[in-house]
Amino acid sequence: MAERIEAATAGPINLADYEALAAERLEPGVLDYYAGGAGDERTLRDNVDAFARRHLRPRVLVDVSEVSTSTTVLGAEISLPVLVAPTALQRLAHPDGEPGMARAAAAAGTIFTLSTLATSRPAEVAWHAPPAPRWFQLYAFRDTAVTRALCDEAVEHGFDAVVLTVDAPRAGRRERDLRSGFAVPPEVDMPAVRAALGAGACPTPAEFFSLVDTSLSWRALEELADDLPLPVVVKGIQTAQDAALACDHGAAAVVVSNHGGRQLDGVAASLDVLPEVVDAVGGRVEVLIDGGVRRGTDVAVALALGARAVLIGRPPLWGLAAAGEAGARHVLELLREELRLALLLLGCPSPAHVTRGHVS
Is the confidence at residue 6, as pLDDT, over 80? no
- Cβ count near 169 (within 10 Å): 15
**Angstrom distance (rounded) from CA 135 to CA 164:** 10
% of the chain exceeding 90 in pLDDT: 85
Indicate which residue of 259, 330, 353, 358 is catalytic: 259
The pLDDT tens digits for 156-189 are 999 999 999 999 999 999 999 999 999 888 888 8
Q: What is the CA radius of gyration of the chain?
A: 19
**Angstrom distance (rounded) from CA 78 to CA 106:** 9
129 contacts 99 by C-beta, under 8 angstroms: yes
19 contacts 316 by C-beta, under 8 angstroms: no
Catalytic (active site) residue 259: yes
Is the confidence at residue 2, as pLDDT, over 60? no
68 contacts 353 by C-beta, under 8 angstroms: no
Mean pLDDT confidence for 269-287? 98
- Cβ count near 59 (within 10 Å): 14
| Helix, strand, coil fractions of the chain, as percent rounded to 5 | 45, 10, 40
CATH number, span 20-57+71-346: 3.20.20.70
**Angstrom distance (rounded) from CA 92 to CA 185:** 9
229 contacts 155 by C-beta, under 8 angstroms: yes
Domain borders along the chain are 20-57+71-346
The pLDDT tens digits for 311-329 are 999 999 999 999 999 999 9
Question: What is the DSSP code string of 296-316?
Answer: HHHHHHHHHTT-SEEEESHHH
- Cβ count near 65 (within 10 Å): 7
The pLDDT score that the predictor gives to residue 199 is 58
What's the Cα-to-Cα distance from 240 to each of 236, 245, 281, rounded to whole Å? 12, 9, 8
- Mean of the per-residue pLDDT values for the chain? 93
Classify residue 193 by burial, with Cβ atoms within 10 Å: 0-12, 13-18, 19+: buried
Which residue intervals of 74-231 are DSSP H helices? 97-108, 122-128, 144-156, 175-180, 191-197, 205-208, 218-227
Helix (H, G, I), strand (E, B) or coil at 222: helix
Amino acid at position 249, single letter? H
- Please, what is the Cα angle at 131 between 127 and 133, to 5 degrees? 115
Q: H or E element: which one contains 37?
A: none
**Angstrom distance (rounded) from CA 229 to CA 352:** 29
CA dihedral over 20, 25, 29, 33, signed as positive or negative: negative
The pLDDT tens digits for 117-158 are 999 999 999 998 877 789 999 999 998 988 999 999 999 999
